Structure 1
Amino acid sequence: MQGGADTEQEQEPSEDSAEELYENAPCGYLSTSPDGRIIKVNQTFLTWTGHSREALLGGKRFSELLTVAGRIFHETHYAPLLQMQGFVHELSLELVCADGRPLPALINSVQKKDALGRPRFVRTTLFNMTERKRYERELLLSRRKAEQLAQAKAALLATLSHELRNPLNAITAATRLLGMTPLSDKQAKYLRILGSASGNLLALVNDILDWSKIEAGRLSLEQREFSLRELLGDILNGQAARAEEKRLGLQTEFDERLPASLLGDPVKLGQILTNLVSNALKFTEKGGVKVSVALRSRDGDAYDLAFQVSDTGIGIPPDRLSAIFEEYTQANYDIGMKYGGTGLGLSISRKLVELHGSKLVVESEVGRGTRFSFHLRLKAVAKGAGVGTAPSGESSAQALRGLKVLVVEDNEVNTYVLARWFEHWGVSFDAVRNGREAVERLRQGGYELVLMDLHMPVLDGYDALKVIRQLPDERLRQLPIIAISASTRAWQESKVLASGFTDFIGKPFDEGVLFRKMARCTSREAPEAPAPPPEAALRASGAGEDSLVLAPDFSFTKLRQWAAGDARASSALARSSVQTLEQARLVLTAALKKGARDDYERACEALAGTLHLLEAHGLAAALRRARALFIGNAPDTARVQAAAFAIDWEVENLVGALVAIASEADA
């Protein structure tokens, strides 16, 4: 008997401890009968809810402790699930405490049955979600604040860019206008420096805007047809001069199984590859850089492509591999001091690759080189749409003569610049400073076209457009209105056109592009320039490219016709053409080095009028040859150098002949 009593005493503390653990567990416990009545509950649950044990065990149902929404969910989901599968896991419901406040809880229930399979009771475990919900709300609030901050930063940069691009518009346009006046050799040299510096500054502003749009998530991918061979050719052609200067090899490997035309975003893909190639050349002193594109797999018209840019440069230490993708970061201080740069290139490239749904991977060994790679999935296009075509001829200079235009612009310098071009084109115009004045002028009638800035005081361009389109005059609802803005990025152009504007042009604007858009919007399109003579057409086709024909191929007949026998006019046209050619050479070189195909195309379009005036078929063919150089097998360095030399040779011959004409007229 003594031993039995001792054993019973030894077991009592253990039983008491189990009960204590149940009562004070970190989670709530309750048990309910098959009909839902509460038959057992622990102290933790009572403490959370404030209910008394007597009140709950006196016939209270579990569903009665839920909010109205919780009761509905209990009847439609909880009870049927428990009945069908015998358990319910991870359900989020709100309980009503004794004082009426809600208590968020995570619920797990399991149905206990007897030997015959009949339900005996339901055991439910509850976790208090109050703190978790509070954390979730704080995280959500922090996320919203971060998004608002990013939007505010993007808005600030957009505003700053507008303020920067307005004076840049005046500088670049005034530079072009100044180039059309008689200049001394020293003045022409200063003007070339001014044009180059303003172009570089504009490129920097655009890069900062690109970064801000990536940060704000406002950059999206376009889908258009392009030639990957030609894109790689343009990029390597643009970097060839830098590679030659450092005596480095620059080559490409292109999988012959890839289609001629793909569907994607060539601008952003070109920006990625240009950044990687430029970065590789920057940190390579011996050896070379290699760009390769291989076909990993194919699924119908979808091609899985592997891109790789490798070099034999200084390499990156293992502990710095992850840091090089951070913005404004170099591998170390000494490298930043020696090679320069902001450290934005790789960060932008990584984000652009991620925008494609891929990942930029880096492998490197100090002293032996670095390899960047990424994969893209692009669709093939059955037939190309003429990518890489030559720039078309300029519309007739008389096409806009007599056109009546309303200019809505609050910047006097920009209005002055437009006025100078309108004088050349024979366009008459009136200018107002805000959207409200524009609406009043248009009500008076008489205008065939409106050029409207988007950002103005009193009434901006978007609001003014809405008012104009709602006026009762049907003619005003159909009136062509071209938006002018300091932002030329694709996402804004889409927004502008979706708002109801007829067309869009960015500042600083290209006068050739503005001319053509004004002509197109007012149905004043002029015929293209006459076809080049057979020998020029032969050169443009690429025949005999390995032995380039370098005979001068231009004529000043049209220049003399436009001067109408006036020696001063001949001199002015000749000097203007020299300025245009020299400036175009700088712009084209900068665009090629950057790998910016759109900038290259715009520069060719800006040069189209001069090519037409001088009948410079040789230079036009050289430009086309440089653009299409890498269509087909990868070219060797000699062919790249030959194409670049052909452009310089054609420009030098044109400049020399034009200087002679200007000198004769001055004499």
Structure 2
Amino acid sequence: MEIQALEESAEELYEHAPCGYISTLPNGTIVKVNQTFLKWTGYSREELLGGKRFQDLLAVGAKIFHETHYAPLLQMQGAVEEINFELVSKSGRPLPVLANTVQKKDEAGKVLLHRTTVFNISDRKTYERELVLARKKAEEAAKAKADFLSMMSHEIRTPMNAIIGLSNLLGQTALSSQQHKYLQILQTSSENLLNLLNNILDFSKIEAGKVSLEEKRFNVRQLIYGIFHGLNVKAEEKGLAVRVEIDEQVPAWLMGDPVKLGQILTNLLGNAIKFTEEGSVTLAARVREATPEAISVDFHVSDTGIGIAPDRLAHVFEEFSQASYDINLKYGGTGLGLTICQKLLEMYGSTMKVESELGRGTTFSFPLRLKRAQGEEESTGPAEYLSDSQILRGVRVLVAEDNSVNVFVVSQFLRKWGIDFEVVENGHQALEKLQQRTYELVLMDLQMPVLSGYEATYTLRNLPDERFRRLPILALTASARPGLEERVDLAGFTDYVGKPFKPDELFAKIAQYVTLPAPPPSPKPLPEEKREPPTAAVDEALPPPRFSFEKFRAMAEGDTQGLLELSTLALGNTEQCKHDFQQALEERDAEAFEFHAHRMKMTLELLQTHALWAALQKGRSLLTNGTWTPDRSHAAVHAIHQELDALIAALKEEVRTVSACLPPVSEPLARPQPVQHP
């Protein structure tokens, strides 16, 4: 009786288990099924055991999967697990299930049966649909938030552009001491408001996943000292000592994202100065580990300021959180700066740590692993032009802007720099003007009536005239919408300038994209009897050279023999690169062209060969933008050779002139000793 009761209990467990059980022949014919499976599908036992196959219960897509994947896999492995099928019940209602099947074989290895366990996953599918729907709603909410912040950014930045621009202009007028004080307060408040806006937008971009790390060559020492000089003014106003300590083993040139690293260090150093009333602030960079390919640097920012209470240390990296309510009242801020820094470091696989003692100071630190940069040092770009505010005099610029206040601000600066400019109010007028007159650069607002800046630029780039594809077009935008860079690039803009802009930033952008005329050479006066005039052939065949020997001669520091050596080396390199550039262009070898340009960059920067750099840039664009043709390549080679020939002729004249200034060989020269810098 006990054995019989046990067998009945086992049968009951089989019939009413929380999962379905079916047994089928190798061809899929169902030979046994439990009550749970019958309940789910709505069939009677007689209906299923009367010749129905398991695959007959499957939806169309599941039947295909059964034949192409399930059956072959079961035959090969002898078992399959967690296969997702969709059954069709007797009423036609779909039933999502997970099936686990194992083969039952006899002693000879012949397959007798397939035993399948079926789990009903209807609830799980419902949860998955709810999760997908919730995710979709969250993404829509995030997009709505990003759109709202973008719209508010544009609305706020437009009047901010006027406030900051007019403040700069007002500072250039005669003011009383009291007016100057009011102006300083206005400028400080404007900068604080702009920083607040930028922090909120940066946080929004990071949250939306629209921020990525770049990897480009940068001078880390230059970056650190630039941040130091930018913030040291505020420290001096408070009487604080700011120290920069850079380990000698830290290489000058590394690969990374200087903008993101600069943002982190600027935030930390700015906070340290902000929360320190007396004492000092230190920014240090020390090598943790170095290999031939990469280097790990520990960055520390320490201060002797107010410190952070122990119970608040764990919360300083939380968004919209500050060390205390009193700090917010006294110092202001959003509590987003450290959160943004931490999230940027997470993108590098790093994290920030904080150590602090209330009333005695705070230290923020983080490690960063960066690749070493290869090759020679690069110049810092267009900043070299900023020392001469009239270098842009005569440059022809078209301004497309519909906001009268913005037009006034931009016009004041362009007029000050001697730029020949015209203003139009919409993209349609801009297209008409550009086809009527030649301009060297366009400042194009994105949001304008009649025809937007996007539409006008896209239309212009598709006109048949080649000059419209080469024309530099800078977008003027007060928007900070995630993905703006991609949209601007797709429309055909060369670059963009954010509003409100600083005068130096706008100046540098214009200087970067126009071909600047170099000042004429101004050689040092030499005795008439030692001058040798250049040959008539050179004078008649070549245009006036567009370069300057001023920096070149300054490098020699009055050493005539050194200047001769420098000139001779430059002459040899310049003659060689004529062939190198031509070969790279004719063979469409962009990598070789870039290598030769990089190798010559220091020499050409010293000689201020702006026209040659412009010709090289056009050659580079043929190789990188997919616009290479034999005719264009020939024209680019001709333009490069024309500038190089002028430079070579001038270098030969320089060598002859300097040689004539040297004393006879019998009179030994007293070469000046190099200065030993600590």
TM-score, normalising length: structure 2: 0.68
Instruction: Name which of 342, 345, 362 aligns with 1:353.
Output: 345
Q: Tell whether 2:7 aligns with 1:15.
A: yes
Q: Deviations over 1:146-203 (max 9, x none)?
A: 2222222222222222222222222232233334444444434433443333333333
* 1:36 paired residue number: 28
Q: State which of 81, 90, 95 in structure 1 corresponds to 2:87.
A: 95
1:395–1:529 CA contact under 8 A, matched in 2: no
Please name the residue that 2:64 is paired with. Answer: 72
Determine which of 394, 407, 431 is the counterpart of 1:401: 394
433-442 vs 33-42, which moves further = 433-442
Q: Distance in 2 between matches of 1:509 and 1:234?
A: 19
Helix, strand or coil at the partner of 1:122: strand
Equivalent in the alignment of 2:45? 53
- 2:188 aligned with 1:196: yes
Match for residue 319 of structure 2? 327
Aligned to 2:295: 303
Distance 1:283 1:152, change over 3 A: same
| Cross-structure match for 1:134 | 126
Q: Does 1:456 align with 2:448?
A: yes
CA separation of 1:301/1:494 partners in 2, compared to 1, >3 Å: closer, same or farther? farther
State the one-letter code of the partner of 2:187: G
Alignment check: 8 A CA contact 2:146 2:482 kept: no
Does the aligned pair in 2 maintain the 1:393–1:529 contact within 8 Å? no
Give the counterpart of 2:217 among 225, 228, 235.
225
Distance 1:24 1:315 in 2: 67
Q: Distance in 2 between matches of 1:134 and 1:217?
A: 28
Q: How does 1:349-388 map to 2 (within 5 A)?
A: 349-362=341-354, 372-383=364-375, 385-386=377-378
Q: Distance in 2 between matches of 1:214 and 1:264?
A: 18
The equivalences for 1:437-516 within 5 A come to 437-445=429-437, 449-487=441-479, 492-493=484-485, 495-515=487-507
Q: CA RMSD in A?
A: 3.9
Q: Distance in 1 between matches of 2:442 and 2:222?
A: 38
- Structure 1 stretch displaced more, 475-484 or 516-525: 516-525
Checking the alignment, whether the CA contact within 8 Å between 1:395 and 1:516 is kept in structure 2 is no
Do 1:226 and 1:387's aligned partners in 2 also have CA atoms closer than 8 Å?
no
Equivalent residue runs for 1:573-652 within 5 Å: none
Return the letter of the residue paired with 1:355: M
- Residues 394 and 529, structure 1, Cα contact 8 Å, conserved in 2: no
One-letter code aligned to 2:164: T
1:339: how far off?
5.9
- Report what 1:585 is aligned to: none
Deviation at residue 379 of structure 1 after TM alignment: 0.6
The whole-number CA distance in structure 1 between the counterparts of 2:337 and 2:325 is 17
Quote how far apart the aligned CAs of 1:479 are.
Answer: 4.1
Q: CA deviation at 1:242?
A: 7.0
Q: Which of 132-141 and 251-260 deviates more?
A: 251-260
Alignment partner, residue 616 of structure 2: none
**Alpha-carbon separation, structure 1, partners of 2:361 and 2:47:** 76
How far 1:88 moved relative to its partner? 1.1
Contact 1:313 1:369 in 2 (8 A): yes
Instruction: For structure 2, list consecutive stretches of 5 or more residues without a partner in the other structure.
Output: 520-546, 558-676
CA 97–361 in structure 1, closer or farther in 2 if over 3 Å, else same = farther
Cα distance in structure 1, aligned partners of 2:263 and 2:86: 52
Distance change (3 Å), C-alpha of 1:252 and 1:24: farther
Displacement of 1:138 after TM fit? 1.7
Report if the CA contact (8 A) 2:385-2:511 is conserved.
no
User: How far 1:300 sits from its partner (Å)?
Assistant: 4.8
Secondary structure in 2 aligned to 1:325? Answer: coil
Deviations 1:303-362 (A, max 9, x none): 344445566777766765543322111345456556654321221111111122333345
Mapped contact 2:307–2:359 kept (Cα < 8 A): yes
The Cα offsets for residues 245-281 of structure 1, whole Å up to 9 and x where unpaired, read as: 8898866665554433211112212322343455556
2:98 matched to 1:106? yes
Determine the structure 1 residue equivalent to 2:560: none
Q: State the Cα distance separating 1:461 from its structure 2 match.
A: 0.9
1:488 and 1:505 in contact (8 A); partners too: no
CA distance in 2, matches of 1:387, 1:47: 78
| Farther off after superposition, 28-37 or 292-301 | 292-301
Q: What percentage of residue pairs aligned between the two structures are identical?
A: 55
Within 1, Cα distance between the matches of 2:196 and 2:358? 31
Partner of 1:123: 115
Give the residue type in structure 2 aligned to 1:270.
G
Counterparts of 1:286 and 1:477, CA distance in 2: 56
User: In structure 2, what is the equivalent of residue 620 of structure 1?
Assistant: none
Asked if 2 retains the 8 angstrom alpha-carbon contact of 1:400 and 1:524, the reply is: no
Q: Deviations over 1:357-393 (max 9, x none)?
A: 3333456677887665444331111345247798445
Q: Which residue does 1:62 correspond to in 2?
A: 54
User: What does the per-residue CA deviation read over 1:187-236, in whole Å, with 9 as the maximum and x for residues that have no partner?
Assistant: 34433443333333333322222222122221221222223344444555
Contact 2:153 2:197 in 1 (8 A): yes
Report 1 or 2 for greater relative contact order, CA contacts < 8 Å, sequence distance ≥ 6.
Answer: 1
Whether the 8 Å contact between 2:446 and 2:452 is mirrored in structure 1 is yes
The AA in structure 2 aligned to 1:485 is: T
2-side partners of 1:522 and 1:236: how far apart?
Answer: 31
How much has 1:135 moved relative to structure 2?
1.5
Pairing partner for 2:200 from 199, 208, 214: 208
Residue type of the alignment partner of 1:137:
R
Instruction: Tell me the secondary structure at the aligned position of residue 113 of structure 2.
Output: strand
Match of residue 405 from structure 2 = 413
Instruction: Report SS of the residue matched to 1:459.
Output: coil
- Distance (Å, rounded) in 2 between the aligned partners of 1:67 and 1:445: 69
Aligned twin of 1:86: 78
CA contact (8 A) 2:298 2:365 kept: yes
Contact preservation (8 Å) 2:285, 2:300: yes
Unpaired stretches in structure 1, ≥5 consecutive residues: 1-7, 539-631, 634-667
> Which AA in structure 2 matches 1:41?
V
Residue type matched to 1:108 in 2?
Answer: N
Give the 5 Å matches for 1:523-602: 523-527=515-519
Whether contact under 8 Å (1:284, 1:314) holds in the other structure is yes
Contact 2:307–2:358 under 8 Å retained in 1: yes
Show the counterpart of 1:611.
Answer: none
